[in-house]
Amino acid sequence: MSEETAEQSTYGVGPWTGEWPTDPWYDPELLREGDTRNVIDRYRYWSMAAIVADLDTRRHPFHVAIENWQHDMNIGSIVRSANAFLADTVHIIGRRRWNRRGAMVTDRYQHVVHHEDVASFLSWARGEKLPVIAVDNVGDAQPVNHAELPEACVLLFGQEGPGLSPEALAGADGFIEITQYGSTRSINASAAAAVVMYEWCRRYAD
């Protein structure tokens, strides 16, 4: 590759050896220069557009939504986890700009959309008939390993520290939390998101 990016890692492959494949999903530059991107072996030498198109054929029916009022640095990490667990779409609520460092370029493969405020996000969710499941340790939240978790839904996460806004909590259809056993009141927002997405995949992913 001519430009080094955060996507590159030590787990890469060199230039293609032998006769080049002619399938349309291969990227000639990657075949010529090698592929050092952080992608699974299935997608080695594939163009980015081809990877996204393939992912789109098998994305899971859960969405992830994140409130973004304080430019939370966890958002990038949540996007990265959403890509790893093959979420349909990530929804950013509030500020349009978000810190992409933690995403490690996975936002190129993950659909990300923006909603100006909670009201517009909830309106979208209602229009799609998707229940909104708030992840926060509020009073009536159920442990995620026991709670009802619809197959098609939106998992809604708040800011590191304050959690979800009152508007978001008021508009949610269900509340789940992660059982903890130590002294701290909450765990990191991106870690919580990964736990809940994994629980969804444990139940529904093939």
Does the pLDDT value for residue 203 go beyond 60? yes
In CATH, what number does 62-204 get?
3.40.1280.10
Beta bridge partners of 62: 153
Type of residue numbered 41: D
At residue 9, the pLDDT reads 52
Query: What is the pTM (predicted TM-score) of this model?
Result: 0.91
Average pLDDT over residues 132-160: 93
3-state secondary structure of 202: helix
User: Residue 54's CB: how many other CB atoms inside 10 A?
Assistant: 14
The Cα–Cα gap between 63 and 130 comes to 9
Domain range summary for the chain, segments of one domain joined by + = 8-56, 62-204
184 pLDDT band, cuts 50/70/90, is: confident
3-state secondary structure of 172: coil
70 pLDDT band, cuts 50/70/90, is: confident
Average pLDDT over residues 25-54: 96
